[in-house]
Amino acid sequence: MLDAAQVALALRAFHEVQIEMGMDPGAGQTLFPGLSETLERVANLPQDTLLLGVAGDGLPLLLHLRDPRPGPLLVTGERGCGKTDFLKVLLLSAERLCNTSSVRFVVLSDHPEEFAEMEAPGRLLGVLPAYESHSERFLYELACRAQYPDMDQPVLLLFDGLDSILHMSPGAQQNLAFLFKNGPQSMVWPVVSVNAEMALKLPAWLALFRTRIYGRITNPHTAEELTPIPGAGLDGLFPGSQFCLRQNSQWLKFWLPSLSA
């Protein structure tokens, strides 16, 4: 009998053939096993690591919170590619893995209702509309911590929609820029999503991210502008489930566990 991982591999192969034949799979279809099952398979992760996804060889792709070299993470792609689910997987995987018990989260989003079902008692510090004054105060506090670190506790700043920064005050923008440049060294980790078309309008902000994670982008001009290095194949990524990033001079594709399975 096939187990769930083998079924997922078979489904993946089938859908990749569909893509190659020009048959566009619809967004929202479940491709990979659910988050709970995936976390059971990777239960013994190193201390202070977070699950970003699972590579094609079945190995987990991890973010090491005590290694600041990746810098802040940018997640971009077209609408429906799974950017918000990417942030949710980060939050929920940390909540369920005992070896990341010290991680705390704050979510900035102009659509906080999209995170209403997130439950991480004691870890989720808040889901805040990016434009509210309370969010600006929180960014100031995080910037102060990054400048004068006094706690050995990782904090992830999940910012869903970088273009919201255009509606923030100059002070909030300065604090965000400081966090993008200096946060990971103090274990304050910004993980930021932005729609691909909006990303093209924010070149100065995009320049602050050395680690960029891409979801599906079917517009060839947009894809080329955001990924000048060839070979990413962004138009062939499965919407809602598959992402890629540049690692060791190669493009690495990986899969999100399903939040609905």
Q: What are 24-41's pLDDT values in tens digits? A: 555 444 456 677 777 777
pLDDT for the residue 18: 47
Confidence at residue 101, expressed as pLDDT on a 0 to 100 scale: 60
DSSP the chain: ---HHHHHHHHHHHHHHHHHTT--PPTT---S-BHHHHHHHTTTPPTTEEEEEEETTSPEEEEETT--TT-SEEEEESTTSSHHHHHHHHHHHHHH-GGGTT-EEEEEES-GGGGTT---TTTEEEEE-TTSHHHHHHHHHHHHHHHS------EEEEEE-GGGGGGS-HHHHHHHHHHHHHGGGGTEEEEEEEEHHHHTT-HHHHTT-SEEEE-----HHHHHHH--STT--GGGSPTTTEEEEEETTEEEEEEPPBS--
126 or 161, greater pLDDT: 161
Task: Enumerate the β-bridge partners of residue 246.
Answer: 251
Look up residue 29 and give its two tokens: 């279809």
pLDDT the model gives residue 12 = 54
Percent of the chain with pLDDT over 90: 46
Burial class (CB in 10 A: 0-12, 13-18, 19+), 91: buried
Place of tokens 């255009």: 166
Instruction: List the structure tokens of 101.
Output: 């018990």
Confidence bin at 14 (pLDDT 50/70/90): very low
What is the strand order of the sheet 242-247 is part of? 60-64, 49-55, 250-255, 242-247, 211-214, 73-77, 188-195, 155-160, 104-109, 124-128
CB atoms within 10 A of CB 249: 6
Q: How confident is the model at residue 92 (pLDDT cuts 50, 70, 90)?
A: confident
Least confident segment among 15-19, 44-48, 62-66:
15-19
Q: What pLDDT score does 184 carry?
A: 95
Q: How far apart are CA 1 and CA 7, in angstroms?
A: 10
Q: Tokens standing for 70?
A: 């990746």
Residues 125 and 107: their CA atoms lie apart, in Å, by 8
Per mean pLDDT, which range of 40-54, 77-91, 162-176, 243-257 is the poorest? 40-54
Whether 77 and 235 have beta carbons less than 8 Å apart is answered as no
Q: Is the pLDDT of residue 49 over 80?
A: yes
- Domains of the chain, each with CATH number or no CATH: 4-255 (3.40.50.300)
The tokens for 239 are 């919407």
Q: What is the mean pLDDT of residues 12-33?
A: 51
pLDDT at 1: 36
pLDDT, mean of residues 83-93: 89
Separation of alpha carbons 136 and 134, rounded Å: 5
pLDDT of residue 100: 58
Position 204 scores a pLDDT of: 96
